Structure 1
């Protein structure tokens, strides 16, 4: 198999972190990039989802609940003592 070189620019911190990760996995950067490229060709696209980080329904409900609690703190019991909170939670 004939080989060729490829030059890419990246943040030096990202490169270092990637090299450390791949070394832990027993490979170098060249091997990791080749795996990525082969998987991209095999899948005819990126080998992972590229999407906006959108919270799921449960997270959205929790966010709404916290906003409600901040808006109307008088409706909710608060704690300044962890032991008292744990006692109420375990009761």
Structure 2
């Protein structure tokens, strides 16, 4: 079962604020229906999911996910490099030998 963790700072900051605002936007009807099914499987309605997104954005002062034009392969390669996964070489000769052996 999926679980959503709401940071205490978000919960405490907004728990006492009972001011409600209505937000209206347009989206593709198929996207809406697929999103409703997805969030329903997580125990949320669409309104709750959008509120989670908005609150997390405010806490992070950013989108709560990475927006990129990079390919999945590039993202994975960067992740591996940053976490020091994979092979490392002391010089280009070692690198070239490894490439030739592959």
TM score, norm. by length of structure 1: 0.59
1:22 aligned onto 2:74: no
Which structure is higher in RCO with an 8 Å CA cutoff and minimum separation 6? Answer: 2
1:5 aligned onto 2:16: no
Q: How many positions carry a matched residue from both structures? A: 57
Q: 2: distance between equivalents of 1:13 and 1:46?
A: 23
Listed as ranges, the gaps of 5+ residues in structure 2 are 1-17, 78-102
Q: Which has the larger radius of gyration?
A: 1
Q: 2: distance between equivalents of 1:21 and 1:48?
A: 17
The structure richer in helix per residue is 1
Secondary structure at the residue paired with 2:27? coil
Dislocated runs of 4+, deviation >6 Å? none
| Aligned residue number for residue 59 of structure 2 | 42
Listed as ranges, the gaps of 5+ residues in structure 1 are 58-91
- Following superposition, the deviation at residue 53 of structure 1 comes to 3.2
TM score, norm. by length of structure 2: 0.53
Q: 2: distance between equivalents of 1:40 and 1:4?
A: 17
Secondary structure at the residue paired with 1:18? helix
Q: 2: distance between equivalents of 1:53 and 1:31?
A: 30
